[in-house]
Structure 1
Amino acid sequence: RFKVQQSGPRNRLRVAAANKATKVKRLRAIQKQSANGKHHNNMSKNNARVAMNVVDARVRLLQKALEKPTVLVDARQKLTKQKDAREKIQERRLNSTSYDVSNW
């Protein structure tokens, strides 16, 4: 298994493919072991198809991600949203009963 060194669609695809390849190898080894029927691993059944499906799904997701334009959010807009959220949280804290000191 490889760790993802860099983010990015190409690299992620390569890593995904490598991981799937190692998985399939491992499962084939399990199948060879289980010739005597003692060691029947559920994962070893039609593993190639499953692996391909997973790879296909990942490819599809990455293609979708590449097709869609990235939404640019204005940094100032983001900051104001964060400030608003912080203020709301503070108001909630003040209004909540756990912070109410008058009960003591």
Structure 2
Amino acid sequence: MLASHFQSGFLDVFATPSMIALMEKAALLCAQEHLEDGYTTVGSRVEISHIAPSPKGMVVKAVAELIDIQDRRLIFKVEAYDKFEKIGEGVHERFIVNKERFLQKTYQKAR
């Protein structure tokens, strides 16, 4: 989860890609519990600011709040925190999809 591992930086600090993934997971879990079997959400857009560093080994958490629904489009306010402060914030967009149809359409590209 470190910037040095992702090659998004040279320092052993919590990486921006890791923070974004944690925020996406928070939004995914927030939505998933309300969906019918056979459905999930896929990420489509992130607008994130990484506003404070976190050292190697510090626990980081993310929270997501659903702020808008437009048909299958879900908009979340997302934030990340370490032990001391907010380290990131932004907006994340996800779309509700039928798992089977989504995978069929995706794998048609390989044919």
Shared fold, TM over 0.5: no
TM-score, length-scaled by structure 1? 0.29
Quick check: which has more Rg, 1 or 2? 1
Higher relative contact order structure (alpha carbons within 8 Å, sequence separation ≥ 6): 2
Higher percent of residues as strand: 2
TM-score, length-scaled by structure 2? 0.27
